Structures are given as C-alpha cells and as structure tokens.
Structure 1
Amino acid sequence: MYVADVDAHCARARAAGAAIVMEPYNTEYGSRNYAARDLEGNVWSFGTYRPAP
C-alpha cells in the first residue's frame, strides 16, 4: 500500500497497537518500506514506491 511518509505512518501504526514485523528500510530501487500486523492478525506492507500510471 502506498504511503507518502513511511516513518510517520509506522509510528502511528505502532501507537495504535499494530505489531511492526519489518521496521522501515530503504530498497535498492529507491522506495522506503515497512510491514505491520494489525490487531486482527493481517500483515500489511507499506511503501513510498508508486508505479507510473
């Protein structure tokens, strides 16, 4: 899922009770990503990469 500010989004998710399963990191192709498990057990991936339309 695209988010503009991965670090701020991760901080909000953590404060809301999500378990961060992969801390924010930079990819070799220029995106910044992280992954979190929500309160229902679903794992979500977030990052700044957005393909061109």
Structure 2
Amino acid sequence: MERKVITSHIFPPIPVRCFDWCAWFDDLGADCSPYGYGRTEEEAIEDLLENFGDED
C-alpha cells in the first residue's frame, strides 16, 4: 500500500525559492511527519520520498 502524501504551497517571505512547497505523509499528520521541500510540488514530494519514503 502506497502512503498518501499531502502538499502545501507555503511560499515563505524569503528570497530563496527552494522552500516554496512542503510535503508530508498524511497517515502521520503534519505535526509528526518528516517533511520534504522544493521549488515545485513535485520536487517537495520527491524530496520527502527520497529521504523518508522507506521508513514505516
């Protein structure tokens, strides 16, 4: 079963655009899940899955 990933366009007020999108695992919730960040929604999901995708 594949985990559901939630994303949010946070667009922080900083000049660096590498953190515009945030992704986390829905089953863990936003408060407990690790996060992935990226310039785009796809980059944030990729970052999350590359770094934390195999953890249960």
TM-score (norm 1): 0.33
> More strand per residue: 1 or 2?
1
Per chain length, whose mean CA-contact separation is higher, i.e. which structure has more relative contact order (CA < 8 Å, sep 6+)?
1
TM-score (norm 2): 0.32
